[in-house]
């Protein structure tokens, strides 16, 4: 079995998230998502996610192309997570291109093109402007 791992917050789920997960799953048989904890998201983006970890986890787990979800507590532990979950492939959006090449000694690293013109930040801005 070929296992794929990916990481992210997946807050205010949108089509870009769905597409990357679906395409990631096509690289193997079992997709594992390292889902940022609320604290990690705060550290990364300077704000709390709109949806709690529990809601984000429930949303991701209900997708047919997501097989497993775990809590990513720290950005520094990627290597440990890759090894712990026995991942053969790490898939990330190309906004991270080159950033995870250091893990090529333990798994294959693939960057997939992002879906243009949509992001959680942009959705939040639009809602703010129109409310
Ligand atoms: N994504 C995409 N197209 C978009 C928006 C996002 O393909 N229009 C992808 C991103 O490239 C990422 C995934 O969806 O691979 C999750 O996006 P985020 O939740 O924004 O994740 P991010 O904050 O980039 O966290 O250490 C890695 C980080 O935890 C990744």
Say if ligand 1 is within 6 A of residue 90 CB: no
Instruction: Name the residue at shortest CA distance from atom 11 of ligand 1.
Output: 93
Q: Which residues make Cβ contacts (< 8 Å) with residue 28, sequence separation at least 6?
A: 1, 2, 3, 4, 88, 89
C-alpha of residue 131 to centroid of ligand 1, in Å: 26
C-alpha of residue 16 to centroid of ligand 1, in Å: 8
pLDDT along the chain (131 residues), means of 10: 97 97 98 98 92 98 98 96 98 96 98 94 90 79
The C-alpha atoms of residue 41 and residue 11 are separated, in whole angstroms, by 9
Inter-residue contact 43 to 49 (CB < 8 Å): no
Question: What pLDDT does 5 receive?
Answer: 98
Inter-residue contact 111 to 92 (CB < 8 Å): yes
The C-alpha atoms of residue 27 and residue 24 are separated, in whole angstroms, by 6
> Structure pTM?
0.95
120, containing H or E segment: helix 120-130
Domains and their CATH numbers in the chain: 3-130 (3.40.50.620)
Q: Which atom of ligand 1 is nearest to the CA of 41?
A: 23
């Amino acid at each position: 079995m070929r296992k794929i791992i990916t990481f992210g917050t997946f807050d205010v789920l949108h089509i870009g998230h769905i597409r990357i997960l679906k395409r990631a799953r096509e690289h193997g048989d079992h997709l594992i998502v390292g889902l940022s904890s609320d604290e990690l998201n705060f550290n990364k983006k300077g704000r709390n996610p709109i949806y709690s970890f529990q809601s984000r986890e429930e949303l991701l787990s209900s997708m047919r192309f997501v097989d497993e979800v775990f809590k990513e507590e720290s950005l520094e532990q990627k290597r440990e997570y890759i090894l712990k979950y026995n991942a053969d492939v790490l898939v990330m959006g190309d906004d991270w291109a080159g950033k995870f090449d250091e893990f090529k000694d333990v798994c294959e690293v693939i960057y997939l093109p992002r879906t243009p013109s949509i992001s959680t930040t942009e959705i939040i801005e639009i809602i703010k402007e129109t409310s």
